[in-house]
């Protein structure tokens, strides 16, 4: 009986907020009309001043009224936007949420949004100490390795894109043998020039194997095609860095193909469930698609409950999807919402997520997450 009364009070509060919101919107429209009328009146009075100077007082009065109306217009617009965000993030959860005594109560946490990691601040003595600085995803030493930028900071965007196209053509096995590639480069630098026979003897390689390594170095433009010497534009550290970058981008390409080659949303969701399980999340509920309230599955980690939404799309994710997961977090009484996509997120979506403690994983984040745990 008490629960029903509380739910009724909550619904009445939401209804009152909706009424206030609609009244503000109506007032905003009325002020718009008044502002347009004042501006037109001001223009007419301005032209009349050229004929009759007696209208100066009326012109100044109209100007002052116009300034006041414009100020009210801007203030109302700001308040309406703020109220709209509050309405979005305070949607009332329904009664049929998931209950789990082992989880932290949703009123005893305060998450702060960041990439992959969220700090959970202790609000009650009943919360275990392990909730402090709890991490989403992977341990701290791995999280530091994850780079959010689409290219690595040590190389330019143009160079990265060029190396990505190079990596597609490279032999993965050759790239993986980083040490041997580096030793071949060092030997060639020391000898100034070389013959394949000398290299075969030095590294005990057959002709076909050695050829694949040399082809890789040529593809990376480290060996000059004309005189078969190391390209003078690179020093040893630059050569090694170029090999490492090509190897990294090749690995990223293979990883991205793993989830981009999936056929539909269902396969992508299963892939993400498998991934987060390997990240030490515990899946407590997979929500049926017919009634998922914008949430695909619920998971826990360090007694924190996460509502996951998977989006397998050909286009970037926009503002509306973030509004959906905000509702889903409330509906399932979760602490944090996570949207995972194979694509990317538009700027309005990221801004709304930042202000509502929603974590966003795009395709680039997925690649780095997968590679960081060798999944």
Report the predicted TM-score, pTM, of the whole model to 2 decimal places. 0.46
- Of 294 and 189, the structure prediction assigns the larger pLDDT to 294
pLDDT(167) > 60: no
Q: Which of 34-38, 168-172, 187-191 has the highest mean pLDDT?
A: 34-38
Q: Say what the pLDDT of residue 288 is.
A: 84
Q: Say what the pLDDT of residue 225 is.
A: 54
Mean pLDDT of 146-169: 40
Calpha distance 327→80 (Å, rounded): 20
Q: Could you state, in order of their start, the residue ranges of all structural domains in the chain?
A: 2-89, 157-260
Q: Are 55 and 10 in contact (CB under 8 A)?
A: no
Q: Say what the pLDDT of residue 269 is.
A: 92
β-strand 304-311 against 119-120: which pairing, if any?
unpaired
> What are 69-92's pLDDT values in tens digits?
888 878 787 777 766 665 554 443
Q: Are 340 and 311 in contact (CB under 8 A)?
A: yes
Collapse the DSSP code of 330 into the 3-class scheme (helix H, G, I; strand E, B; otherwise coil) and give the result: helix
Q: Say what the pLDDT of residue 128 is.
A: 36
Q: What are phi and psi of 228, to 5 degrees?
A: 55, 45
Q: Nearest 5°: CA angle at 276, between 274 and 279?
A: 115
| Residue 224 banded pLDDT, cuts 50, 70, 90 | low
Q: Say what the pLDDT of residue 85 is.
A: 60
Q: Say what the pLDDT of residue 251 is.
A: 73
Q: Which of 287, 289, 290, 291 is nearest to 299 (CA)?
A: 287
Mean pLDDT of 173-190: 66
Chain mean position to CA 51: 62
Mean pLDDT of 187-200: 71
* Number of continuous H segments (helices) and E segments (strands) in the chain: 13, 7
Q: Say what the pLDDT of residue 109 is.
A: 37
Calpha distance 146→116 (Å, rounded): 9
The DSSP symbol for 317 reads: B
pLDDT(156) > 60: no
pLDDT(59) > 70: yes
Q: Which of 281, 338, 302, 300 is nearest to 131 (CA)?
A: 302
pLDDT(145) > 80: no
Q: List the single range of 8-12, 78-82, 355-359 with lowest mean pLDDT.
A: 8-12
Q: b/e for 147-186, b at 16 or more Cβ within 10 A?
A: eeeebeeebeeeebebbbebbeebeeebbeeeeebeebbe
| Bridge partners, 306 (sequence order) | 299, 336
Beta-carbon neighbour count of residue 33 at 10 Å? 10
Q: Which two tokens stand for residue 170?
A: 């490279």
Calpha distance 374→363 (Å, rounded): 16
| Residue 155 banded pLDDT, cuts 50, 70, 90 | very low
Q: Which of 19-23, 161-165, 182-186 has the highest mean pLDDT?
A: 19-23
> What are 247-306's pLDDT values in tens digits?
677 677 778 888 888 889 899 999 999 999 988 899 999 988 766 568 999 999 988 999
| Residue 11 banded pLDDT, cuts 50, 70, 90 | low
β-strand 282-286 against 297-301: which pairing, if any?
antiparallel
Q: Which of 345, 371, 374, 299 is nearest to 115 (CA)?
A: 345
Q: Say what the pLDDT of residue 73 is.
A: 77
Collapse the DSSP code of 158 into the 3-class scheme (helix H, G, I; strand E, B; otherwise coil) and give the result: helix
Q: Say what the pLDDT of residue 178 is.
A: 58
């Amino acid at each position: 009986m008490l629960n029903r009364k509380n739910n009724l009070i909550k619904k009445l509060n939401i209804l009152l907020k909706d009424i206030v919101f609609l009244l503000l919107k109506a007032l905003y429209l009325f002020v718009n009309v008044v502002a347009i009328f004042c501006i037109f009146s001001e223009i007419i009075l301005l032209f009349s001043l050229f004929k009759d100077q007696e209208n100066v007082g009326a012109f100044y009065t109209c100007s002052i009224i116009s300034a006041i109306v414009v100020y009210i217009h801007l203030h109302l617009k700001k308040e309406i936007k703020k109220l709209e965000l509050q309405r979005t993030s305070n949607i009332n959860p329904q009664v049929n949420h998931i209950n789990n005594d082992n989880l932290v109560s949703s009123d005893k946490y305060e998450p702060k949004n960041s990439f992959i990691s969220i700090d959970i601040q202790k609000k009650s003595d009943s919360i275990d100490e392990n909730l402090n600085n709890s991490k989403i995803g992977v341990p701290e030493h791995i999280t530091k390795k994850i780079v959010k930028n689409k290219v690595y900071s040590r190389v330019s965007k143009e160079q990265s894109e060029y190396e990505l196209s190079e990596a597609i053509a490279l032999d993965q096995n050759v790239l993986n043998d980083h040490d041997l590639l580096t030793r071949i480069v060092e030997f060639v630098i020391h000898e100034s020039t070389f013959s394949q026979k000398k290299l075969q003897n030095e590294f005990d390689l057959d002709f076909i194997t050695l050829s694949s390594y040399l082809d890789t170095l040529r593809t990376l433009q480290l060996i000059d095609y004309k005189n078969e010497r190391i390209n003078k534009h690179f020093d040893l550290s630059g050569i090694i860095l170029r090999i490492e970058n090509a190897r990294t981008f090749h690995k990223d390409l293979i990883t991205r193909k793993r989830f981009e080659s999936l056929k539909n949303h269902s396969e992508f969701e299963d892939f993400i469930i498998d991934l987060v399980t390997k990240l030490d999340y515990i899946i407590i509920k997979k929500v049926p698609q017919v009634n998922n309230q914008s949430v695909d599955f619920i998971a826990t980690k360090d007694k924190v409950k996460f509502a996951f939404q998977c989006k397998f799309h050909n286009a970037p994710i926009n503002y509306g999807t973030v509004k959906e997961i905000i509702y889903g977090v409330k509906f399932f009484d979760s602490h944090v919402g996570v949207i995972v996509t194979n694509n990317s997120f538009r700027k309005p979506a990221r801004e709304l997520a930042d202000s509502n403690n929603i974590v966003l994983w795009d395709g680039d984040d997925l690649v780095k997450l997968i590679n960081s745990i060798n999944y």
